[in-house]
Amino acid sequence: MVTTSMFQAPRRSVFASLIVAVITCAYVYCVYSDGTHFTNHRMSPEFDTGNVVHDFSNATSDENTTDLIFYNKVGKCGSRTLVYLFRKLARKNKFVASGQSKTPQMSRYMTEHEQAQLVERISNLPRPATFYRHTNFIDFRRFGHKNPIYINVVRRPLNRLVSEYYFKRFGDDKNDTKNFPGEGKYETFDDCVLLNRNECLSSSTFIIIPYFCGQVHACRNVSRWALETAKENVIKYFTFVGISEEFEDTLKLLEIMFPRFFNRALEIYKTPGAIISTKTKGKVPPSPLVEEIMNERLALENEFYEFIKQRFYSLKAKYGIAPSSSGTNRTASGKKN
């Protein structure tokens, strides 16, 4: 005789399997629903070994706007100098210069809702327009909009880190009052490194790569995955990434590539008194020992910087800008190399 109880166990088993499948799908979506595209190679053996094959055949020119620039500025890489230029050039070249100058460190990472709000704000600006903000990469297409023209400027990682370390404590030529919270205000950068302060450990110095990696939580972790994702996003989404150490050539390229926005940028930058100095105060250069220690900790950041630098030099060659001679190319703070 067949009873109802004979079917209950199989039904429960099928129902439980469906529940597990739904939860699994939801988890995968939450983990990988970020500002980057999850492509097949990120789960492949080639990616795990670091031998990444980039495939950007799906990228098309109509995916980006042509009258909207988004500068998701990396801190202590000449960002305030470039923002000053935005404001001056906006009046001369008749475009809207909008943005957020002061952004807390952790606000670079945003929730889906916060990302959507920022995308709407930027996408609805009157055109032509520029927008600047410290934030990690966001793919606007995920929120129903075309991507802006992404630009950025980077700096040799150790130089950037030393500058940030002393800026937090003593400010710069524009702002010389800093209320540094902690007993280590007067410790040198060497002290910080040799005493293994948290501020100078690898986990606290992984700064540049996340700006290009995206909003997913894994971009915060020191890993080759984050590095390769950042490289991929630069190739696919960033029209231009300059070098702080060669700021004048950075401006030359911006003038050539985006004359609508940057016409006369170099002229204004070189005009005495036109741009407020942002040179960090109180900097003490690190010792050779500390440089060696930190360059090991910054290995991935240094690799990314060299990747950006080679792309930058390729652009200079493409547009006929000669290699810089020593002492002829000022940094963003106004100091000659």
Residue 20 lies in a domain: no
Task: Tell me how many domains the chain contains.
Answer: 1
The structure tokens 């006369």 sit at: 264
Largest CA distance in the chain: 99
CA distance linking residue 308 with residue 304, whole number of Å: 6
Average of per-residue pLDDT across 222-243: 98
CA distance 23 to 16: 11
67 or 276, which is more confident: 67
Domain membership flag for residue 25: no
* In a domain? residue 22: no
CATH number, domain of 270, equals 3.40.50.300
> Looking at 25-29, 71-75, 252-256, which range is the least confident one?
25-29
Whether residue 1 is contained in a domain is answered as no
State the Cα angle at 244 between 297 and 275, rounded to 5°.
135
The CA-based dihedral angle spanning residues 180, 182, 188, 193, taken in that order and rounded to the nearest 10 degrees: -120
In this prediction, residue 326 carries a pLDDT of 45
In this predicted structure, the answer to whether residue 231 has a pLDDT above a threshold of 80 is yes
Confidence (pLDDT) at 208: 97
Q: What is d(CA 29, CA 337) in angstroms, rounded to the nearest whole number?
A: 47
The domain containing residue 150 runs over which residues?
61-318
pLDDT at 280: 86
The alpha carbons of the chain give a radius of gyration, in whole angstroms, of: 23
| Structure confidence by residue, pLDDT tens digits, 135-153 | 999 999 999 999 999 999 9
Q: Is 134 considered catalytic here?
A: yes
Residue 330 within a domain: no
How does the average pLDDT of the chain come out, rounded?
82
The active-site residue, picked from 54, 134, 145, 217, is 134
**222 occurs within a structural domain:** yes
Helices 157-170 + 299-318 axis angle, to 10 = 110
User: Per mean pLDDT, which range of 11-15, 94-98, 100-104 is the poorest?
Assistant: 11-15
- With respect to residue 95, please indicate whether it lies within any of the assigned structural domains: yes
Instruction: Answer yes or no: is 44 within a domain.
Output: no
